[in-house]
């Protein structure tokens, strides 16, 4: 096992530099004053702080961010065994298990952990996979300690290497109430002000979720899901929508109700919006009672709609004229992704605003990209959607041909999912075609709008788009039959006709 881990361990994990030069993406141990070291990931390059060089880190298992002085950061393999022994809480052990998967221990360190585990076993403890002798003998008091211990190490960690050192909890190192208190104390440390931590330049805190006020305008399928996830994550959110049903639902979940888009912007530090088209964006942002009427110096506006670069720049100009800051941030993902907070965010515009809203973006997504100047994120989203439409049109065409030439569509579907084309797109849209169920996760009308914008972008840059043009023709055919509310995988219906 040690040899296999040696082969899999990254070079940077095996040979630590003599002088730590922390870079973004490095896994480390980071320490807030008064609290133990915790597994973390470097999230930024060097930052200035009154007490010395520092780095922004994201703590594993919590997704909390803080700016930590470099003197309070250790490389991932520095004192790794000692770090693991220092804390007994279940959440800490889960964070360690996550660290082990992301940055496996070196062979030497792994061996030390295994030796420590063996040593503890010789003192009378049992390995996690073995049944507790106390439980087998009916010793209820001992069994009561052993039972939660098995839960402390996540199943995911159990497959990451032969022996999982989070099982060091076996000698009574369980997630007891006192240990949970220690963990809660660590978590609460993120709520302290910067003067109470290390004197660092800033700290992203749980308290800041309530201190900063966020607005959300536009509660369609995507907007509603994102606003709901912000509330679930504990943010202070004020919402507005043209129709009030979804507003009332979110108020029931803890949101505040805005009387108009302008009132939301006036009450909030940053206002998000997810709207259906460029025209609707102009109306809600620039029109009467629009967002710019509530924007003032220092406030931010984040537009998460899929629109063309020209409209995005128009909105930016209006927001900046009102003294505000602008960020375009269209998202990739459908209903399932927004519900499970697994969207991909493509952002461009004001870089400081992007940094400021990283925490709420984390609450709705798995990854956020900053792509530079305004317009770049809109372009990227349109390019991605042309590819999604093209893949789906090709899938629909292949399924239609399979049916007409007499081969099994179901077997084709299975072959696609086991072969090199396997993807979530093929799986979900192929199943919709196979079952003939085209209930919408993303409508024909919405996809056709995106194709129209993408083709206009291509024309501007003199790029031939035969595949996108063909996909657009299929979508237009469905619209001509009043089927624009179906999911865009219904392109199959056009292709499968006699």
Residues with a catalytic annotation lie at 381
CB contact set of 465 (below 8 Å; sequence gap of 6+): 386, 454, 455, 458
- Rounded to whole angstroms, the Cα distance separating 203 from 189 reads 10
Give the Å distances, CA to CA, from 105 to 97, 98, 102, 215, 221.
Answer: 11, 12, 10, 43, 43
CA-based nearest residue to 320, from 343, 337, 297, 294: 297
Alpha carbon distance, N-terminus to C-terminus of the chain: 60
312 and 378 Cβ atoms separated by less than 8 Å: yes
Q: What is the spatial distance between Cα 389 and Cα 405, in angstroms, rounded to a whole number?
A: 24
Bridge partners of 239, per DSSP, are: 216, 257
- DSSP lists the bridge partners of residue 300 as 270, 325
d(CA 405, CA 409): 10
Distance between CA atoms of residues 317 and 309, nearest Å: 12
Alpha-carbon torsion angle 33, 181, 84, 60, nearest 10: -70
Q: Which residue(s) pair with 332 in the sheet?
A: 344
């Amino acid at each position: 096992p040690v040899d296999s881990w040696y082969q899999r361990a990254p070079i940077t994990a095996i040979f630590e530099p003599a002088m730590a030069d922390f870079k973004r993406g490095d896994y480390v141990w980071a320490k807030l004053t008064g609290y133990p070291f915790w597994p973390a990931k470097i999230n930024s390059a060097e930052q200035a702080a009154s007490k010395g060089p520092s780095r922004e880190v994201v703590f594993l298992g919590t997704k909390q961010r803080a700016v930590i002085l470099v003197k309070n950061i250790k490389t991932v393999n520095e004192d790794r065994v000692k770090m693991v022994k220092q804390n007994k809480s279940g959440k800490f052990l889960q964070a360690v298990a996550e660290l082990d998967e992301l940055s496996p221990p070196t062979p030497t360190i792994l061996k030390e952990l295994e030796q420590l585990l063996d040593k503890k076993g010789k003192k009378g403890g049992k390995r996690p996979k073995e049944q507790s002798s106390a439980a087998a003998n009916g010793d209820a008091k001992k069994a009561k300690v052993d039972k939660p211990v098995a839960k402390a190490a996540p199943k995911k960690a159990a497959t990451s290497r032969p022996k999982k050192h989070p099982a060091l909890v076996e000698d009574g190192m369980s997630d007891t109430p006192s240990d949970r208190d220690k963990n809660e104390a660590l978590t609460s440390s993120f709520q302290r002000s910067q003067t109470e931590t290390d004197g660092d330049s800033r700290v992203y805190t749980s308290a800041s979720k309530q201190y900063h006020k966020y607005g959300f305008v536009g509660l369609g399928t995507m907007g509603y899901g994102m606003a709901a996830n912000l509330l679930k994550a504990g943010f202070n959110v004020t919402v507005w929508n043209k129709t009030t049903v979804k507003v009332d639902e979110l108020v029931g979940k803890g949101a505040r109700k805005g009387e108009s888009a302008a009132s939301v912007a006036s009450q909030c530090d940053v206002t998000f919006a997810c709207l259906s088209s460029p025209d609707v964006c102009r109306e809600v942002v620039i029109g009467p009672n629009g967002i710019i009427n509530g924007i003032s110096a220092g406030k931010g506006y984040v537009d998460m709609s899929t629109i063309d670069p020209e409209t995005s720049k128009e909105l930016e100009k209006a927001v900046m004229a009102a003294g505000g800051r602008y960020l375009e941030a269209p998202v990739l993902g459908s209903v399932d992704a927004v519900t499970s907070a697994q969207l991909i965010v493509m952002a461009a515009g004001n870089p400081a605003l992007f940094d400021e809203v990283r925490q709420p973006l984390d609450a709705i997504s798995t990854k956020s990209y900053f792509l530079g100047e305004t317009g770049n994120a809109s372009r990227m989203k349109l390019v991605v959607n042309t590819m999604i439409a093209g893949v789906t049109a090709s899938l629909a065409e292949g399924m239609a041909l399979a049916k007409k030439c007499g081969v099994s569509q179901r077997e084709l579907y299975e072959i696609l999912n086991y072969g090199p084309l396997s993807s979530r797109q093929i799986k979900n849209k192929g199943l919709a075609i196979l079952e003939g169920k085209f209930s919408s996760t993303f409508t024909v009308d919405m996809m056709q709008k995106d194709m129209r914008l993408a083709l206009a972008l291509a024309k501007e840059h003199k790029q031939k788009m035969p595949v996108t043009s063909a996909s657009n023709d299929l979508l237009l055919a469905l619209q001509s039959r009043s089927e624009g509310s179906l999911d865009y995988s219904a392109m199959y219906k056009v292709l499968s006709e006699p």
